[in-house]
Chains A and B, each alone.
Chain A
Amino acid sequence: MQRRSLMKATALALVLGSGMAVAQEAADDQITIGVSIPSATHGFMGGLNWHAQDTIERLGEVYPNVQFVLSTAGDAAKQVSDIEDMMATRDIDGLVVLPFESEPLTAPVAAVKEAGKFVTVVDRGLSQEGIEDLYVAGDNTAFGRVAGEYFRDNLEAGSKIVVLRGIPTTLDNERVEAFQAALEGSEVEILDMQHGNWNRDDAFAVMQDYLAKYPEIDAVWAADDDMAVGVLEAISAANRQDEMWVIGGAGMKEIVKRIMDGDKQLPVNVTYPPALISSAIEMTALHFVSGAPMVGRFIIGSQLITPENAEQFYFPDSPF
């Protein structure tokens, strides 16, 4: 028994050794880019995962000499291990990382940078400035502001609205603060703000309670399309569809479709495209295959999706 496991271990070491040798050889003319993102735990991340895989597949065909290593992590600790593994066993030349959390990922990503690799940070910044070569992100402040401005411009004075917040994070705070700032000075009153955690079921329960608590609600900022689905269901169960409209966010395909069809309950939506990971991967690949400068900060604006322009935001193949 013991001897057999010893033999197994030897065999394993041989395989690993030869594998590494191959990787080493390939490294001379091959470019390897590591991509580390959080796993698909909710709709938006699901979309982001899909766009990451889609982009990698497409770029792999366009640039045969560029290889990609994709890993998804359920928590910050796993993501740190993933990045360490990429450095140790895959000998990456560049890293595209969407940090699960800023603090714990800062030191490991800084170590990648110190080893002379090209580092692209996506969406959530690191807690120290100046580590990354390229920063690609959505604009959370604009996300809140664009929604807030729509409420300000389309509601009469004295209107009452309710807000659903996401998982308590800096990102959620930035959005909500910008939303409140945009409403400042208008006569629109925010009745309540509770956490729906970017989750359909939680949003459904929170909205049911809002409906029980407030006899008059003129509009809802659901702030996320998964939450908007739960909110819409709660409203129709209470039979109050005609009283209020709902603004979600991020551009989920089902919601964009309904805006395209001119649904009165869903007049507009605000983008926060999960495809921003595609921009990041593509720009990182371009850094290696072309001489074009790809360093700096690239902020993807949040746009208002209206029935007129909805078609260009509709991706029927994406899971989100």
Chain B
Amino acid sequence: MKLDLHILGPLVALIALIILGALLNPAFLAPANITNVLARSAFIGIIAVGMTFVITAGGLDLSVGSMAAFLAGIAIIAMNAALPGVGENWGTILLGVGVAILGGVVAGLLNGLLITQARIEPFIVTLGTMGIFRSLTTWLADGGTLSLEYGLRTLYRPVYYGGIGWITWPIIAFALVAILGEWVMRHSRFGRHVEAIGSNDRVARYSAIDVNRVKLMTYVGLGLLVGIATVLYVPRLGSASGGTGILWELEAIAAVIIGGTALKGGRGRVWGTVVGVLILSMIDNILNLADLVSPYLNGAIQGVIIVLAVVLQREKRAADER
């Protein structure tokens, strides 16, 4: 079997980062820190798995960060409203979970229908819904912060902080979503259709693939995953505001591209996305742990690593084609 460095590139980068982190600060490999990094990655990670399908099918979704803020907002409002009637129990929390997930599906459906039925460019549609979800959240919060009632928070809190030993629930959810995503992309008919549409949407149509339906499903799936990410996010701080989820969309897209999925579509790699997400949150973590550079430059370091990761892949691809 020939080892393909191009495919393994992101993984090599991740391992290099882990070694660098361990050398700079021994606390980096402590279980508590690993739990922190993985659990923090989970929101972006779960969203990025969905984003992999959207991008592979030749689409794009800029609205996911605002959507997460909006879903967190309506879930909190729903739970607070249900509190007097249902009481302080898991029933109320399940209601909030249902609102977030159902809301995610509806929001994804809205994006998908505007793109496939109204035939508007995904960039424009989701740029629009990005602004809509963001301002709706600020409006619902009256410019401030929506907070979950204290008793409900205490009850709901273990969903983020609890788990099996040091493997907390967000990490488990992220792993399950990633494994399922990888399976769907590699081994299901849907995954093959997504790749076919992304590489050539006309040929896919002539091959009797229901292109619009598959595209719509990628957006609905992403909405569902944003809903799941929100369900895990709300118990962390128990609040949502206009500042929640800012730039998540770009982090998710960056993770997908670092992982080796082509931005122009046609080639999706879910495990690569997972590696991309871990690279991004590890850079943040290492910069905080190590005092390498002035904190003013953190963004620049991240930018350099993102561009570098993609440049390495491009060179390899050019070599393949030669």
Contacts and interface: CB of A to CB of B under 8 A. Distances in A.
B144 interface: yes
A46 B141 contact: yes
A209 B295 contact: no
Contacts, number: 93
Interface stretch (A83-91, A130-138, A189-197, A289-297): A189-197
Contacts of A208: 36, 40
Which range contains the number of A residues in contact with the other chain?
Answer: 35 or more
Contacts of A303: none
A46 B145 contact: yes
Contacts of A226: 145, 243
B89 interface: no
A46 B289 CA distance: 32
Contact of A43 (B27, B33, B40, B145): B145
B289 A209 contact: yes
Given A40-B144, A212-B32, A46 B237 contact: no
Given A42-B241, A200-B237, A213-B27, A319 B289 contact: no
Interface stretch (A62-70, A114-122, A152-160, A230-238): A230-238
A199 B142 CA distance: 17
Contacts of B237: 200-201, 204, 229-230, 233
Contacts of A254: 147
Interface residues on B, range: 20 to 34
Interface in B216-261: 236-237, 239, 241-244, 246
A201 B145 CA distance: 13
B289 A320 contact: no
Nearest to B298: A195
Contacts of A42: 241-243
Contacts of B206: none
B288 A41 contact: no
A200 B239 contact: yes
Interface in A201-232: 201, 204-206, 208-213, 226, 229-230
Interface of A: 39-43, 45-47, 49-50, 165, 168, 192-195, 199-201, 204-206, 208-213, 226, 229-230, 233, 237-238, 254, 318-320
Interface of B: 25, 27-28, 30, 32-33, 36, 40, 138, 141-145, 147, 161, 236-237, 239, 241-244, 246, 284-285, 288-289, 291, 295-296, 298
- Nearest 3 Cβ contacts at the A-B interface: A319-B144, A40-B143, A46-B143
Given A194-B295, A319-B141, 8 more contacts: A42-B242, A46-B138, A46-B141, A199-B246, A205-B288, A212-B27, A212-B30, A319-B145
22 contacts: A40-B143, A41-B242, A43-B241, A46-B138, A46-B242, A193-B295, A195-B296, A200-B241, A205-B284, A206-B288, A209-B285, A209-B289, A211-B32, A212-B28, A212-B30, A212-B32, A229-B239, A233-B237, A254-B147, A319-B141, A320-B144, A320-B145
